[in-house]
Chain A
């Protein structure tokens, strides 16, 4: 069999792109191995300190649970909405698309001030708890990522025909959504979920201004006080987010089921 020929320019670009991503990681890794006492390489003391820190585990668990909560709320909220818009009121799709751009336009600092004022009178189980207030803010923040992913997923299937075929066979709306529509937009839902996870695991402004201790605020705290530990923490957080994404991919994957683009009506 003939070997595929790769252009030298492609190899150059690959090396440049790899260097762009890898050099900072390698530099961070080398920095994190330095000793606080001697400022020389190499010790794993920074990693050991972080792994044995109670704050580290507490904040990472909080951020991860918050991410899962945000993903769950977003999917529950946006999948039926986008489905309904595609099926019954397609003229509202641009309106929804415009609304989804708002979190990009409004800076998080403005958003959090507005939300703090809006929910000032809310019950304490919501206002004072990260799983209430923060999750709500994160759902708003994740709206554009979730919406555009789902929208692309719904556009790739013939929603009308699949819905009508399902109903014609006796399925209710709920059965149609759960057993016919959802499995066929799974890739899009996973895409939106990955982005949401990455956003929540790295969101600092809202958490900090609303005085919640999440993983990003912990990173910031360590960064101000312990430089080598901060570098180690950055690398760990990078690996944790990637591991979480892979886990999500693994959980939501199942059998390979290519989505078929149906014929036009």
Chain B
């Protein structure tokens, strides 16, 4: 039996369905990230687990105990909020101590625990500081220590890094993972940042429109997206709308060009599919005459975006806009305006059946 179970959780706000029956099972000590764009229902799910809101239907079970109707102050869930939530009238030390005082722990034990936790988050030098004397990153560290102080059944993190700058964000997410692994605490993490989710989680659940689109390990989510939405949301993906022309040989046709893709083997002729190719798998080569060879698409380099060790090239082909990550050292041979051919690999390419046009969705503006 799983440690944390969310069973068919539903929640509506008037006509808006925020959660449309989600199911989650998490073993003790596991780290699950709920990932999705703004308004997908991930924070609603977290608030239901914390007890700040009640579901219309469904249940929340922790360690075999039904928590659905338990008030938030009796759930023993530690939460770190998106907004800075430290009590402004208390020092870092008093903030961490607050939950222990509520539980009437003895003074000596309280002091010991507070000291341990502030050391754990690297803030032993700032115990007497008030929140306004701490940076954003330090405040969230104290908030984490405060949530851990009560030895919660489940640690809930609601986009705790979204207000921090990029460098602190990376540093702190690694610390969160280190502490979570060290303490073996079951953790539910809400984020709209896919890089964050993939880098720290044991499992990732991609949410959209109040549903879990797909749940799996970070590697599964990246390499085998189950829906067009997941494919689009996790990493960058080239999407080539195609039709199966020969299921036995694994051939599809995209914009008049035949491509052989292993994933198309066994498909029915005439089936509408979407070929998904990661930018790092799409190999570009300069083409003198613009002619395409086997399993290639012809086009022209439109833009360069420097990303450090790789440079992202945008290529305009006949029907689609392709994206390819090229080693920066190689980019000089592929200047803007250069005719190129893009090799679509046989292996590593995913195929999704197109039942309908993939619906559009909006990414969070600060995390495109």
Chain A residues in the interface with B (C-beta under 8 A): 157-158, 161-162, 164-172, 175, 179-180, 183-184, 257-260, 262-265
Q: Given A169-B98, A175-B102, A180 and B87 touching (CB < 8 A)? A: yes
Contact between A260 and B146 (Cβ–Cβ < 8 Å)? no
Whether A258 contacts B132 by the Cβ 8 Å rule is yes
Q: A158-B83, A164-B79, A167-B72 are in contact. List 17 more A-B contacts (CB 8 A).
A: A161-B85, A164-B72, A164-B81, A165-B79, A165-B87, A167-B52, A168-B75, A169-B78, A170-B73, A170-B74, A183-B89, A257-B89, A258-B88, A258-B132, A259-B88, A260-B86, A263-B163
Q: Is the CB of B150 within 8 A of A169?
A: yes
Interface of B is mostly: loop
State the Cβ distance, B311 to closest chain A Cβ, in Å: 35
Chain B residues with a Cβ closer than 8 Å to the other chain, count: 33
Question: Across the interface, do A184 and B88 meet the contact criterion of CB distance under 8 Å?
Answer: yes
Contacting residues, chain B, for A264 (C-beta < 8 A): 83
Chain A min CB distance to B136 (Å): 8
Measured CB to CB, the closest approach of chain B to A170, in angstroms, equals 4
Given the known interface contacts A168-B77, A263-B163, the answer about A158 and B85 at a Cβ–Cβ threshold of 8 Å is: yes
Tell whether A257 pairs with B163 under 8 Å between CB atoms, given A158-B85, A168-B78, A175-B102.
no
- Which residues of B does A touch, CB under 8 Å? 50-52, 71-79, 81-89, 98-99, 102-103, 130-132, 143, 146-147, 150, 163
Task: Please give, as numbers and ranges, the residues of chain A lying within 8 Å of B150 by CB-CB distance.
Answer: 169-170
Neighbouring B residues of A165 by C-beta, 8 Å: 79, 81, 85-87, 143, 146
Tell me whether B88 and A171 are in contact (CB under 8 A): no
B73-A162 in contact (CB<8A): no
Contacts of A161 in B (CB 8 A): 81, 83-85
- Using CB atoms, name the residue of chain B closest to A259: B88
A163, closest chain B residue (CB) = B52
Partner of A172 from the list B73, B76, B146 (CB cut-off 8 Å) is B73
CB distance from B160 to the nearest CB of A (A): 11
Known pairs A258-B132, A260-B131, A263-B163; A169 contacts B89 (CB<8 A): no
A263: chain B residues at CB < 8 Å are: 82-84, 163
Please list 22 pairs of residues, one from A and one from B, whose beta carbons are closer than 8 Å in the complex, sorted by A's number: A157-B88, A161-B85, A162-B87, A164-B52, A165-B85, A167-B52, A167-B73, A169-B98, A169-B99, A170-B76, A170-B150, A171-B98, A171-B102, A172-B73, A175-B102, A180-B87, A183-B89, A260-B88, A260-B130, A262-B88, A264-B83, A265-B83
The residues of A that contact B75 with a CB separation of less than 8 Å are 168
Greatest chain A CB density within 10 A among B84, B87, B103, B146 is at B87
For B82, the closest partner residue in chain A by CB is A265
Q: How far is the CA of A162 from the CA of B84 in the complex (A)?
A: 9
Q: Which residues of B contact A259 (CB under 8 A)?
A: 88
Q: Chain A's nearest CB lies how many Å from the CB of B285?
A: 49
Kindly list chain B residues whose C-beta atoms are within 8 Å of the C-beta of A172.
73
Complex CA distance for A36 and B97, rounded to whole angstroms: 67
The 4 closest A-B pairs by CB, nearest first: A169-B99, A183-B89, A260-B88, A165-B85
